[in-house]
Structure 1
């Protein structure tokens, strides 16, 4: 791995920009906007940023020092293999075409609108690190129809795990118990990953980004106005988390005297 330090982390860096061929034929397939190349696995800068940010003391007292797995695995610490995942989603699926067409009619330039939020969402504030293996928690949250990759729903499952409750992802979380127990409790998890803006000040409630309750059936935006509200909720979180990461990097450098 090239030499990188916390001072080199740019929270505005767009990981599609160093993912080879990401934008090739992006609009070719059904005009939904889709790439065969995934920054989660293909962006070298994203991998370096993950390694830098999360290689530090854990709430359980251990010090996590991630190494580059390079070939089959993304990053590794002891016997834990980690993979990157974007936690901001836009539901650009063929079965959502009616809603997407309505959005298209509400924005001045739909292609520019999509391309901008894709680039923005692929900054470090939109990324997480999870265990990487078959049937992992991260796989489950994308496949579970009561979660549908929504980050607010996902975090509520995590909160319930630490509280001893159940959720649609309980079984997946038990499979990755070794990972989640590193953070001791919900506050430890939230603080370590700079997720404070997803919860209330007492860490007792997860902010709902869309809808009236958690784990509703078909939890997608059902209209153009709901879709735009969803995107804005994600943007609000992204801006705040990027700011927290930037402040952490600055404070760490000041403490080290750099």
Structure 2
């Protein structure tokens, strides 16, 4: 079984739980070793490695919430964070050390004679992402839709991994990310989304940081509940659903505007260990680039095209796999 209250710092020996918590690794293996949307098996060994006719994939743990608790600059972020009431950031940090705040991403892929930078590294270093998973998930959504994003080039060595889930809905369902996506397939953001043109840091004001924190913690709680239900279903073979009882917020808050989301948004192209306070191209892919070096084609055949039957199936899967829920009201 999976204990969603377990603090993954406990067995990390004061190091990064991503690479040193055996419990976290065991939970990842249990959660993500399951059939793909098309029914094919996807099993991981104790090293989170998969090898079958699907291909060979090395997966690595990654924390998907960021408190920025240890950052000392920029000053606008420090000011917004430090304006929080005593204990709130600590509670945020602690929530980010439960299994609901972690996922796995592909890594260890060679491009020619060099190892490709991992998605984890790329999203942590990109100034338009700043290690935020809501923004990363929007980039993944655009990958499936055949659209560009700040992480388009970073995804290229890993396109074959994303393809095995069929579409965005399949990816979201497999990794229990339904509470970060609307029933229509749009990403729900932790702060207002400006199509990757604004500051990715929740640093505009104390109110913005508080909203970012509250929505992040609500997502972690909802995902922990989903993970627990998923583990119970795997163990018992039963079919259980989870209803998230989050506080309501104004309709549409935190959700993207389709009118403000161009189909070909191109953005210009560090990272701390925030896991715990105690821690001091594949052959099927064809990419082309314009003169600025931005990717103009994700693959010879896009994973999914907006408005296609695949996209419709993805939306149907999202709608059927999640219960209605809403973000917490801004503090």
- TM-score band w.r.t. shorter chain: 0.7 to 0.9
Matched, 1:116 2:100: no
Match of 1:140 in 2: 122
Please list every run of at least 4 consecutive aligned residues from structure 1 whose deviation after the TM superposition is greater than 6 angstroms. none
Q: Which has the higher contact order (CA 8 A, sep 6+)?
A: 2
TM-score by length of 1: 0.81
Q: Is the 8 A contact 2:139 2:152 kept in 1?
A: yes
1:84 to 53, 56, 61: 61
Match of 2:192 in 1: 211
**Shift in Å at residue 41 of structure 1?**
0.6
Q: Is the 8 A contact 1:100 1:224 kept in 2?
A: no
Matched, 1:228 2:203: no
Cα distance per residue 1:89-119 (max 9 Å; x no partner): 0123221344434543441x3xx43333222
Structure 1 stretches lacking a partner, 5+ long: 1-7, 22-36, 70-74
Match of 1:194 in 2: 176
- Mapping for residues 8-87 of structure 1, pairs under 5 Å: 8-21=1-14, 37-69=15-47, 75-78=48-51, 79-87=56-64
**Shift in Å at residue 68 of structure 1?**
2.0
Match of 2:166 in 1: 184
Of Structure 1 and Structure 2, which has the larger fraction of its residues in helix? Answer: 1
TM-score by length of 2: 0.64
Query: Quick one: distance in 2 between partners of 1:57 and 1:149?
Result: 29
Matched residue SS, 1:95: coil
Query: Quick one: distance in 2 between partners of 1:65 and 1:106?
Result: 43
Query: Quick one: distance in 2 between partners of 1:219 and 1:237?
Result: 18
Matched, 1:242 2:224: yes
> Judging changes above 3 Å, is the alpha-carbon distance between structure 1 residues 251 and 182 closer, same or farther for their aligned structure 2 residues?
same
Match of 1:125 in 2: 100
